[in-house]
Structure 1
Amino acid sequence: MSTKYHAKYYATELSLQRASDSIENLTSSLSNAKVDLNPHQIDAALFALKSPIANGVLLADEVGLGKTIEAGIVISQKWAERKRRILLILPSSLRKQWHQELLEKFFINSIVLESKSYNEMKRKGFLNPFDIKNNAVICSYHFASKKKDEIKKVKWDMVVIDEAHRLRNVYKPSNKIANNIKEAIQPYPKLLLTATPLQNSLMELYGLVSIIDKYAFGDKKTFSEQYIRNGSEEIRNHLLKKRLAPFCKRTLRKQVTEYVPYTNRISLVQEYYPTNQEWQLYENVSSYLRKDRLFALPVRQRHLMTLILRKLLSSSSFAITSTLESLLQRLDDLLEAKETKNDIDNTLYEEYDTLEELQDEWDEDEQTSEEYVISDPEVRKLIEDEKKELLSYIELAKSIEKNTKGNHLLTALKEGFKYGQQQGALEKAVIFTESRRTQEYLYELLVNNGYENEVVLINGSNSDKQSKEIYNTWTDNNKNSESITGSRTADMKAAIVEEFRNSAKILIATEAAAEGINLQFCSLVVNYDLPWNPQRIEQRIGRCHRYGQKNDVVVINFVNKRNEADQKVYELLSAKFKLFDGIFGASDEVLGSLESGVDFEKRIAAIYQNCRTTEEIQQAFSQMQAELEEEIDKTLKQAKVNLLENFDEEVHEKLKIQKERTDENLSRYQEWMLKLAQAELGNEIKITNDRTRFFYNGNLFQKGYYDFNWKRAEQSKSIFFRSDGQLINSLIEKALNRDLPIGVLELDYSNYKPQKGKITFLENLSSKSGWLSVDKLTVESFEKEERLLFYAVTDAGEVIDEELSNKLLDFDGYEQESEMINHLYPEKMIENRKKELVQKHKTEIDAKNAKYFDEEIEKLEAWADDLKDGLEKEIKELDAQIKLLKKDARNCTSFEEKLQMQKQIKELEKKRNNKRRSLYEEQDQIDEQKEELIFSMEEKIKKKETISNVLCIRWRLN
């Protein structure tokens, strides 16, 4: 059994703050996460945490390798260290996904800040909603740019930027959003995530690295001179790769296939021909949307509303009807002189539940106000005519009782399920639509055609009766469980997904559901409505086609054969973006070529709006494809290989070693947790033979099984025994706060069953009893690091080395009466050993800090040299220009031209001479700035050391 001395030792080990670059430092976070750990992700997290004084890194793994998990591990580690001011800047479409993943996988609370939540917090009295405790803060690029001043005021422990390639043109002053974000987060540690750090120019790498650390390179002109105009590509790549090495890490899919297997994507197309009525509705509304002036659409939002109306029109007649009715209501309001809103009507918010995200990234071109007078008879006549037109469309839409596209869904599902059955997949399908009204229609269609009690819905609100019943049942079943987060949105999603996994066959999802849910158990994806944003399509398919999927994923897309533009959109997404076939879907290069998926949607929308004939549509899409090919082909693939990819033969072996080390540390850490529980709870717990779970039958905590395996815990409805759970935290606190006298322990070595055999040294000791003292050394410098120091000696005066002294507390033991201390404490021997070990560990920590310091000095030296070289090159350039002008002047025959050239020469000589005079002064200023930076680091390196005793025991081996 374990004693209270063992308990204090285990609790101390579990709570130690270890070096940031060690795998031991991550172990607590890893044992607290509900993720499948892969060695390349551990490697990436360690890279991001490798230096406590670095300003951040760029993780550039190929798509599909789990950069979100890597970032989650890093955030989790910061969280464990109580560094909880964390900001995440993301594309708006990823905000909910990150919020969900942080909560579900890492038990980290976060808030999503956008206009509504920001203003609500302001009303509640928050001076700065970004400055909130014990919550990570999530916001979009646009929102971060708008609120840069508030962001600046918070001292962030870490800033995470996902899809960071959106900021790669930050070196251009015209890129306002990127520059605002860079300015707002400049002083703080950063973690940038992107699969495509380099797309069109090496300057993009300069831009991204400058966001991380403004002292990484000199100015952009110097960078261009050194690495773009440099004549020797081989020399350039060698130098640049060396400079990038501390900042950038990229893992390739082929390097990790042993750990991350992927299945295929299979594409099926469901073609359909709309009826004449359906096609007439489409043509009529399309013509209406093309009119130069529409009173029903606010001028400042016309482009955005037109895009949404076209999407709803393509979805179903049911989707467009209510929206047309809301437009009709707007015209009535105008005629009755009621106040009309300039923002999107509430109907659209209810109908299209990613509208807010789309608005967040949508910048309208038109900023004009609506200039007309309602009382003007001509204006009223125009509005009345528009009303009549809308009424006719509404009547036509309502007369369409069945949608051809919907009927073809039944056929598509049969084909998809048939393919899945052939490969042994579960009969499950997720159907995506962009309209809630279409979602309701499809639900009724499926329920009435053989799928009764087999269909569930997921959308932005899930306010329907069925969803509420599923939610209530789920919350009852998970009462007092950590599965319940307290967020109704998150819990509703969890309940619906569980219902889909356990009972239902079909999940009908609006776009909101494409974010933040994992459906690896489902292998049939139906794009009933096909988004025009390739990144959103990839996100949809990625819900199912991801790590953990065991079957090929079938992707079914609907194509309207009467609509030339729809066909061209599908061809573009399929052939150029390669979204629907292959092992990994869209390539990094292709998706990364898009500055924004919303911009791409705008280009598509413009074609629908401006092209009427088949020829015009074909020509417009051909031109768009040519432009895309140019953008994609411009990618510097070879440069990416040379600069970012590591084909070192040792990579595979390194990852293998990383996995072994991670498994070993996790095993040891979890064994400490288990032994602490055993020591503190005694007979209240019963441990299983494999020591991976135990049953708790006490009264202080939730009764039931506690399991280290989070997957098994979920499946068996037991409790995930994680390192930051309520039970273990309580036990650690109790053990650490216990004052212990000198103890006498009988250690049971005879029943010790190590993996690597008996310990020969201990067996050969001439004396099987002695003393053990354990101290905690705390060193605060660049970071706080704690180490346990073990001093053990036998009664015969034999000194036991540090590693074996540590082993003594691995043996179970029994406390004896203190009167049995019959041997004096060897204070002098222990003190000598203590001085020796303290000095050894301080030397190791000093060496590590010196390494961090040297790396920063090397970076600053290179930065200063860049700037100095740039100044000298400017003088050389001026010399070359002067020389060329003098040559031209000699060859010039006209006296007036000679005079003009002489004036130019004198101006350049004056400029060059001034540069020469100021060269040393400017170089001195650079050196002064460098020295100031070095001095600030020297201040941080000053050490504070403390030593405290953890326990002291008299021991005897039996």
Structure 2
Amino acid sequence: MLKTKLYPYQKEGIRFAFRAGKSIIADEMGLGKTIQAIGTAELMRKHQFISSALIICPTSLKYQWKKEIERFTDAKAIVVEGNHLTRKVLYGAEEFYKIVSYNSVCNDIKILKSLHTDFLIMDEVQRLKNWNTQISKAARHIESDYSVILSGTPLENKLEELYSIMQFVDQFCLGPYYQFLDQTVVRSDTGKVVSYKNLNAIGEQMKNVLIRRRKKDVALQLPGRMDKVLFVPMTEQQRNMHDEYQSIVSQLVFKWTKTRFLSEKDRKRLLLMLSQMRMLCDSTYILDQKTRYDTKVEETLNILRNVFESGDEKVVIFSQWERMTRLIAKELDVLGVRYEYLHGGIPSEARKNLTDNFTELPESRVFLSTDAGSTGLNLQVASILINLDLPWNPAVLEQRIARIYRIGQKKNIQVINLVASQTIEERMLSTLNFKTSLFEGILDNGEDTIFLENSKFDKMMDSLKVVAEPSEEVDGAHNRMAGCSIDLNDNEEKVVGETAVLQTTDTDSLALLEEETPEEGVTEVSTEKKSSVSAADNNPEQLLQQGFSFLSGLARTLSSPEATQRLVDSIVEEDKETGRTSIRIPVSDKESVAGILNLFGKLLAAGNKT
């Protein structure tokens, strides 16, 4: 049924939801509500109770759900996105799981008036805020035979929100709203809510449809450390800049593949482009402090809100970029959350005060740090670590984690790695499985001897042919143009499945994963690519075949308005200052462009003579 081992409390949650038919799983953050919802759907599918499932979640989690479903089950999942007409068609697609954002389903309900699904999953439902919002009202027009509602909001907080959530499961369970408020809310003379009452009675009313476990309740079942990779989408602005730099990297990789040589200038340019691509995975603010486009900051705040609402746990947040930590600090100031902030500009004598405050003050909930604080600090008072970005040197990553995961640690530790989806970050993670010693010293501020030793540089470039090149996703949702792409889908899909171990096991599995990385397959593919290019130069039939292949692919793209628009967006640029529009097409080198222009010149000359 599920391709993973479940903890006993997770099995209990699946059985509870299966028996209830419609239920709320309100486990504390980090206990695996997602896998319990998927497990319930799979159990109902096995018993032929349902033939489809609709998942509604925040926009940033759509592709996270898709990855989790396809990793843990044999079922297919499709993301319902695009314009309204496209989404209408996708709701009826043959895939068992359909995934849609709250905003999209709200717009669709306005037009379709209602939606029906056999099985409904609503994730992060507490983000609906209250039951009077348009999204919440629209969601109540979704008809389902069975449902699982996921929320990490505890029973002790925001009872009005709990009432709203209960409407998706059993609208009669808690009685009329006015009566519910009268029985549970204690107000001051001025009408301000000061406390709640009769909580045990409310819990008794909901015991057949709501299940909630805290980490301390199931601590003996949990491993000492749990690692989770959370894939976060980019904004359009981030994506455009990232792909522009990726195009340059692709050209340099192609140039190296063709000549097995890059000048020192090209090597430094390659390093710069790779570093800027990594920065863009976090925020455009790191490169350009006049703009700010990102999604990792808001996703981090959502995680922190869940932590703060769920109890008194403390969080450590790391980023390689000081400007990224600055953005988080600014948002924490807005929230009024006490935090300690360590970066390279903090003198060593002041660092002890930061750690003492974080350890001793209950109101100090967050320790925010660059990699300047990744060694020597003892932050065992924290139980959650968020990596806003992953260092490409595994040793640096483990140094971060060792700040809270040390000998004598009595808490269960959760490590959350934020990875920008469809980027160099994800390809590095999924394709090479942290096998990044080749990059040590280049992208993590170490020694740059790799640029002096050709043998090491050659190995790095072989890896970059996989990491830096764009990969075509199965669903085609993020296909974009970039030069000299090498199709490595089969290898990437295989390794993505293997990296799942990282989310459920400790670091001892890293060595095993390294052995399983299919380096030979990568080499074979790149060799085949090179040989096909040289063969085309001498084989007219193969050259014609490649030409027809290009034309047929172009025809398929132009037959779809959405694909055509993506093609136009990827090659057309507009100068915001001058308003001038230009076409940008990645090419291998200047010689190729010169050859094409010479050919056109000869054709035009021949046409004029006739």
Q: Give the structure-1-normalised TM-score.
A: 0.29
Higher RCO structure, 1 or 2 (CA under 8 Å, sep 6+):
1
Greater Rg, structure 1 or structure 2?
1
